[in-house]
Structure 1
Amino acid sequence: MTKILALDASTDACSVALSLNGETTHIFELAAKSHTQRLLPMVDEILRAANCTLHDLDAIAFGRGPGSFTGLRICIGIVQGLAFGANLPVIPVSTLQAMAQGFVAQNQNADLPLLVALDARMDEIYWGLFSADNIPNLLGTEHVMKPAKVGEQHLIANLEKQFIAIGPGWHYADLQNIVPEVLIQDVHPDARFMLPIALDAFDKGETQSIFDAQPVYLRDSVSWQKRQRIRTQSL
């Protein structure tokens, strides 16, 4: 059976998960600003507990974003080292899709579209609309924008409140004019919910070389603005 290790560090949460012989194990922690110290030891812990090595795996999946610029870079850096050392392909997984997958896994009777939102800082959110299928499909594209603009999107206006809102990005007051059927804010990307997506992608042959894998920021200005703040503070 397919053996996949999954890692995510795209938000304050830090998680790893392993699919081995049809069984799933996972470790999840809220570890803001500790991803560098925690992610690799968590990988070692989960592999050791399963009596498994990197060379036993078929692929490594990782949360490719959107999310924290720093967290995404930490995660892909670790994945690059692991995948290169063991000559493994990788599977990038949307963090928004993983959050939708988590809801579907825990609410199997859900049939409404899932509007997932993460706080992108700078008074913006990352968001995407997903189906409630066993493997949630992205309806449209993933976006980053001001919360007030979300309700103006044609795709959202047509929902007529018949959707489920997921994620901490929903804390913005400007989203309150979009009233969902259900609102669940306390949700984080979790590597264990990346596994069904990754296994499906592996079965379809949708793996990548680690040399081709890239994080998805949705806005190219994130790193530039971070550097600008650092320069300003050092003056």
Structure 2
Amino acid sequence: MSSLYLLALDVSSSACSAALLRQAGGQRECLARYEMTPRAHTKRLMPMVDELLADAGIAPQALNAIAFGRGPGSFTGLRIAAGAAQGLAFGLDCPLLGVSTLEALALQAHRRYHFRYVVTALDARMGEVYAATWHCLNDAVSLQNDEVVIAPGAFRLPADETDWVGVGSGFSLWDEFEVGVQACMSQHLTDLEPRAEEMAWLAARDLDAGLGQAAHEAQPVYLRNNVAWKKPA
């Protein structure tokens, strides 16, 4: 594709973000907005989109694809992002791509700090984390084990590497991770949140691979099957 405008949205955590990746003449750049707005996602998301389109000097009709943070993450946030992305993709008749929040977090850690072996963990509440492990190299990330929702004490690392770095809010539960897992991590950072900027780059990769979907086909990924709290019997 010689020219491309791809919009990405994410409200899977306390942060609200949007990004616009544009490609022209073989060069790609990304415009981005990011704010910590834990209770104002619905108020800030679409204004961010308007700001990005204005900065790029384009109308919504110029967009070639839409992406969103598909999860795991906040159930409410995932539904907000999916609904907004589906509405835009349907109205513009363009492909929709769901991007893993954990993969986007791994890419952010790699691009910002050059980490190579990354454990991403987001606080899943109820004493659990959403977690996965990644190998990162040259701005590319590859999944080392399946994304899971799990108690920190039950989480285990692949056996073939020992120089892991943990990133994400799930490591606020650091003391609950098994001692052997802690020993394999040189450090852990709790302040990184998923961002639409990395999702835009990942979505562009997936679009190039022909993975764009119709608006109604892309759905949030919760990992936890039962998303509603039930009173114990």
Fold agreement, TM-score > 0.5 = yes
Residue 9 of structure 1 is matched in structure 2 by 11
Question: Alpha-carbon deviation of 1:149?
Answer: 0.4
- For 1:181-192, list aligned pairs within 5 A: 181-192=186-197
- For 1:38-77, list aligned pairs within 5 A: 38-77=44-83
1:120 aligns with 2:121: no
Residue 143 of structure 1 is matched in structure 2 by 148
5+ residue gaps, structure 2, are: none
Moved more, 161-170 or 118-127: 161-170
Structure richer in strand, relative to its length:
2
Q: Given the two structures, how large is their TM-score scaled by the length of structure 2? A: 0.90
1:64 counterpart letter in structure 2:
R
Residue 170 of structure 1 is matched in structure 2 by 171
* Cα distance, 1:3–1:122 mapped onto 2, change above 3 Å: same
Distance 2:56 2:29 in 1: 10
Distance 1:218 1:135 in 2: 24
Question: Alpha-carbon deviation of 1:157?
Answer: 5.5
CA contact (8 A) 2:154 2:178 kept: no
Q: Aligned Cα RMSD in Å?
A: 1.5
Q: Which runs of 4+ in 1 moved over 6 A?
A: none
Over residues 87-142 of structure 1, what are the superposed CA-to-partner deviations in whole Å (9 max), with x where a residue is unaligned? 1111110000000011111234x33x210000000110000111112221111210
* Cα distance, 1:45–1:90 mapped onto 2, change above 3 Å: same
Structure richer in helix, relative to its length:
1
Q: Percent identity?
A: 39
Residue 199 of structure 1 is matched in structure 2 by 204
5+ residue gaps, structure 1, are: 230-235
Match of 2:136, SS state, is coil
Q: Given the two structures, how large is their TM-score scaled by the length of structure 1? A: 0.89
Distance 2:82 2:194 in 1: 15
Distance 1:2 1:129 in 2: 31
